[in-house]
Amino acid sequence: MELHEFGKEQKTTELPLILAVEDNEDNLLIIDYVVDSLNCRFIGEPDGKKTLSIARKTQPNLILLDIMLPETNGIDLFHDLRQDSSTRHIPIIAVTALARAEEKQRIMEAGFDAYISKPYMLEEIEELICRYLNLKQNP
């Protein structure tokens, strides 16, 4: 005899995890606030050199990657993430103060999934996160 429980949802999936690689503490706090409001988990990492190992270990659902990091370049990090078989599937959004059209084109041609320029509105980053994680935005 099989036991069936109706009306009980099985929670087999965890909340989405977002990795933000950003050397500015204030920007990490802002992103953490947005991620928390969307009921997602968050890892904020100021050191770009740790990005690949953290992404391999935690397998985030989305990476927000600053382009201008001390001691490393976000585009180079992006290529490292795409060349690694364990991280190549993760959507990566470029977050940068580089706002000129040719810089945006260079970033998008590198293969990023999306681009957002600083300073950004909270609603802009929330919309991007929701789009890439298939979440419903808060009203």
**Pick from 80, 116, 90: nearest CA to 18:** 90
Task: Count Cα atoms within 13 angstroms, Cβ side, for 33.
Answer: 10
Q: pLDDT tens digits, residue range 83-104? A: 999 999 999 999 988 778 888 8
pLDDT at position 13, please? 65
Residue 110's SS3 state is: helix
Paired with 69 in beta bridges are 72
Q: pLDDT tens digits, residue range 24-38? A: 999 999 999 999 999
In CATH terms, the superfamily for domain 17-132 is Response regulator (3.40.50.2300)
pLDDT at position 12, please? 44
Q: pLDDT tens digits, residue range 127-139? A: 999 999 987 765 5
Domain boundaries defined on the chain: 17-132
pLDDT at position 137, please? 61
Residue with tokens 């977002």: 18
